Chains A and B, each alone.
Chain A
Amino acid sequence: MPINSVWKNRIWKTGTFRLAVIFSLIFGIGSGVFLVILNLTIVRLAESEIQDALRHQLAIMRADVKLEGAAALSNVLKEHSRTDSLGRYSYRVVTPAGVVFSNGLGVEAEDIDGAGRLKNRATTLLIMTERMPDGTFLAVGRDTMALAQLRTGLNRVALWGGIGLVVLSIGAGAVSGYLFLKRLDGVNDTIVRIMDSRLDMRIPAIGYGREFDELAGNLNLMLKRLEVAVTSLRQVSADLAHDLRTPLTRLRLRLETAEHSKPEVQQEEIRIAIEEIDEILRLFGALLRITRVESGEARLSGETVNLADVAREVIDAYLPSVEDDGHRLELIATGACEVSGDKRLLRQVMSNLIENALTHTPDGTQIIVSVAGGADGVELTVADDGPGIADDFKPHVMKRFYRLDASRSRVGYGLGLPLVAAVSEAHRATVSLHDNAPGLRVSIHFPLGMT
Chain B
Amino acid sequence: MKILVVEDDVQTANFIARGLSQSGHTVDVSTDGEDGLIQATRTAYDVMIIDRMLPKCSGLELVQAVRSGHINTPVLMLTALSSVDDRVEGLESGADDYLAKPFAFTELLARVRALHRRAAAPGEELANDIHIGDLHFDLYRRRVTRAGRRIDLTPQEFKLLEYLVRRRGETITRAMLLENLWGYDFDPRTNIVEAHISRLRAKLDVPGGRPLLRTLRGFGYVIDDAD
Contact = CB atoms under 8 A, between A and B. Distances in A.
Determine the main DSSP class of A at the interface with B: helix
A292 B83 contact: yes
B83 A317 contact: no
A321 B191 contact: yes
Given A313-B183, A344-B183, A347-B184, A355 B189 contact: yes
Given A320-B199, A321-B195, A348 B186 contact: yes
B89 to A, nearest CB: 12
A298 B196 CA distance: 31
B124 interface: no
Contacts of A286: 186
A317 B192 contact: yes
A358 B187 contact: no
A300 B13 CA distance: 34
A270 to B, nearest CB: 11
B109 to A, nearest CB: 16
Contacts of A277: 102
B182 interface: yes
Query: How large, as a class, is the contact surface on chain A?
Result: 20 to 34
Interface residues of B, number: 25
Which of B102, B155, B183, B218 has the most CB atoms of chain A within a 10 A radius of its CB?
B183
A320 B187 contact: no
B84 A344 contact: yes
B129 interface: no
A298 B84 contact: yes
B205 interface: no
Nearest to A281: B102
B65 to A, nearest CB: 27
A39 to B, nearest CB: 75
A347 B183 CA distance: 9
A351 interface: yes
B188 interface: yes
B227 interface: no
Interface of B: 82-85, 102, 104, 155-156, 182-192, 194-196, 198-199, 218
The 8 closest A-B pairs by CB, nearest first: A320-B195, A321-B195, A317-B182, A321-B190, A321-B192, A317-B192, A320-B199, A316-B156
Interface of A: 271, 274, 277, 281-282, 285-286, 288-289, 292, 297-299, 313, 316-321, 324, 342-344, 347-348, 351, 355, 358-359, 410, 412
25 contacts: A271-B218, A281-B102, A282-B187, A282-B189, A286-B186, A289-B83, A292-B83, A298-B83, A299-B85, A313-B182, A316-B156, A317-B196, A318-B190, A320-B195, A320-B198, A321-B190, A321-B191, A324-B195, A342-B84, A347-B183, A347-B184, A355-B188, A355-B190, A358-B190, A359-B189
